[in-house]
């Protein structure tokens, strides 16, 4: 089997194994897996409303997935997408609330840029610490997540609102809501962010594959020492990669704040989108097109799962288990490639 095929086979087999394990769990717990997965499908694509919801869920997943994938290509593991997303969410909503008389062409890009900037700043700190002091980015980004959670909650309660648990809705001039898309999908919460997500994916592909900057970032990811020897500034590239990754995550947060919810509220825990972004990026092989496809799959799983208890009586948490197992199988790709190798040997005999 050629290398190209293995690259495709690992995620596909992982998803199938994950779904298979989900089916086994359903059988063991006394449910009908066919009914369960049928309900999942109906809940994700059953009619235009559900399709709209799936695409809406896919939007922040694309941004979170791109953020993780971008850092990964430079050899960095950004677990901090969750926190970068939260600060981006807060910043975009803040800008969306602060100005009342700006035209939409100015206000909306400004609010999104604020989200990107906040996320970039949150990514800069671990990037800087990694580049300058060789501090491992995984631990720093985890700590930054919790800092972001508490800081954003503090700002919502004490700075942006007067002790309330949620901010007001952002002004119309900063809103991503689209009457056209809502009509098209039977009044789902689908908003214009989906276009931005697709553009961002194309942008990431172009940046990584077609520019000098992208070449340098990938080179640093492959081999830091060789890149250094070739005259690249490794430290600058590490910081830059985390900043761009954080900006993607921050825009993902802006999608939530300006589109899906239209405001921000106190979060008692994480939204999970940042962590799901890790799964999206891994499954998508850290490529732009892979991230878009994986985001569609996870969006469908998440939205479709809500229909499972209604139509088939299967608790929707089943999907969390399936997602966990998919990550697990992708991570253990050595096992899959090894098994594939065994099959091939047998065929040769």
Residues of this chain that interact with another protein (CB under 8 A) are 25, 29, 77, 79, 125, 129, 133, 135-136, 138-140, 142-147, 150-151, 153-154, 158, 268-270, 275, 278-279, 282, 309, 315, 317-321, 323-325, 327-328, 330-335
| Nearer residue to another protein within complex by CB, 117 or 283 | 283
Work out how close the CB of 141 gets to another protein at its nearest, in angstroms, rounded to a whole number: 10
Q: Which residues contact residue 333 at a Cβ distance below 8 angstroms, ignoring those fewer than 6 apart?
A: 10, 14
Work out how close the CB of 281 gets to another protein at its nearest, in angstroms, rounded to a whole number: 10
Distance CA 22, CA 320 (A): 10
Q: Which residues contact residue 27 at a Cβ distance below 8 angstroms, ignoring those fewer than 6 apart?
A: 33
Give the residue among 279, 294, 272, 280 at the shortest CA–CA distance from 82. 272
| Nearer residue to another protein within complex by CB, 105 or 133 | 133
Give the residue among 281, 278, 292, 283 at the shortest CA–CA distance from 326. 283
Distance CA 206, CA 217 (A): 13
**How long is the chain?**
349
38 HSE (CA, 13 A, CB side): 8
Work out how close the CB of 150 gets to another protein at its nearest, in angstroms, rounded to a whole number: 4
Work out how close the CB of 142 gets to another protein at its nearest, in angstroms, rounded to a whole number: 5
Describe the crossing of helices 333-348 and 3-28 by its angle, rounded to 10 degrees: 110
Work out how close the CB of 316 gets to another protein at its nearest, in angstroms, rounded to a whole number: 8
| Nearer residue to another protein within complex by CB, 26 or 296 | 26
Work out how close the CB of 224 gets to another protein at its nearest, in angstroms, rounded to a whole number: 15
Q: Are 94 and 269 in contact (CB under 8 A)?
A: no
| Nearer residue to another protein within complex by CB, 202 or 324 | 324
Distance CA 324, CA 18 (A): 8
Q: Give Dmax (Cα) for the chain.
A: 75
| Nearer residue to another protein within complex by CB, 29 or 223 | 29
| Nearer residue to another protein within complex by CB, 122 or 192 | 122
Q: Are 322 and 22 in contact (CB under 8 A)?
A: yes
Work out how close the CB of 187 gets to another protein at its nearest, in angstroms, rounded to a whole number: 28
Dump the DSSP string for 69-85: HHHHHTT---TTHHHHH
| Nearer residue to another protein within complex by CB, 70 or 275 | 275
Work out how close the CB of 331 gets to another protein at its nearest, in angstroms, rounded to a whole number: 4
Give the residue among 244, 248, 296, 304 at the shortest CA–CA distance from 274. 248
| Nearer residue to another protein within complex by CB, 29 or 183 | 29
């Amino acid at each position: 089997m050629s290398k190209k095929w293995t690259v495709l086979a690992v995620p596909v087999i992982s998803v199938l194994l994950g779904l298979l394990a989900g089916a086994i769990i359903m059988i063991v717990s006394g449910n009908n897996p066919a009914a369960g997965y049928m309900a999942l499908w109906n809940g994700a694509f059953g009619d235009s409303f559900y399709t709209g919801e799936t695409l809406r869920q896919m939007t922040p997943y694309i941004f979170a997935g791109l953020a993780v994938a971008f850092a990964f290509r430079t050899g960095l593991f950004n677990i901090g997408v969750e926190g970068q997303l939260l600060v981006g969410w807060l910043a975009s909503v803040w800008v969306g609330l602060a100005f009342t008389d700006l035209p939409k062409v100015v206000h909306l890009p400004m609010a999104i840029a604020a989200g990107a900037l906040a996320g970039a700043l949150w990514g800069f700190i671990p990037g800087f610490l990694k580049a300058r002091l060789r501090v491992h980015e995984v631990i720093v980004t985890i700590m930054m997540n919790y800092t972001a959670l508490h800081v954003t909650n503090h700002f919502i309660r004490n700075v942006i609102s007067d002790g309330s648990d949620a901010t007001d809705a952002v002004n119309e001039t900063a809103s991503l809501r689209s009457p056209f898309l809502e009509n098209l999908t039977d009044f789902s919460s689908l908003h214009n962010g989906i276009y931005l997500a697709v553009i961002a994916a194309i942008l990431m592909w172009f940046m990584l594959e077609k520019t000098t900057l992208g070449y340098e970032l990938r080179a640093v990811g492959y081999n830091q020492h060789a890149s250094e020897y070739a005259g690249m500034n490794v430290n600058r590239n590490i910081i830059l990669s985390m900043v761009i990754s954080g900006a993607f995550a921050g825009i993902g947060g802006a999608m939530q704040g300006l589109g899906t919810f239209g405001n921000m509220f106190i979060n008692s825990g994480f939204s999970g989108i940042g962590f799901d972004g890790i799964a999206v990026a891994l499954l998508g092989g850290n490529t732009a097109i892979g991230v878009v496809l994986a985001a569609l799959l996870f969006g469908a799983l998440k939205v479709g799962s809500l229909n499972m208890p209604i139509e088939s009586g299967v608790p929707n948490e089943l999907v969390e288990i399936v997602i966990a197992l998919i990550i697990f199988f992708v991570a253990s790709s050595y096992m899959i490639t090894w098994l594939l190798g065994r099959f091939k040997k047998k065929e040769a005999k």
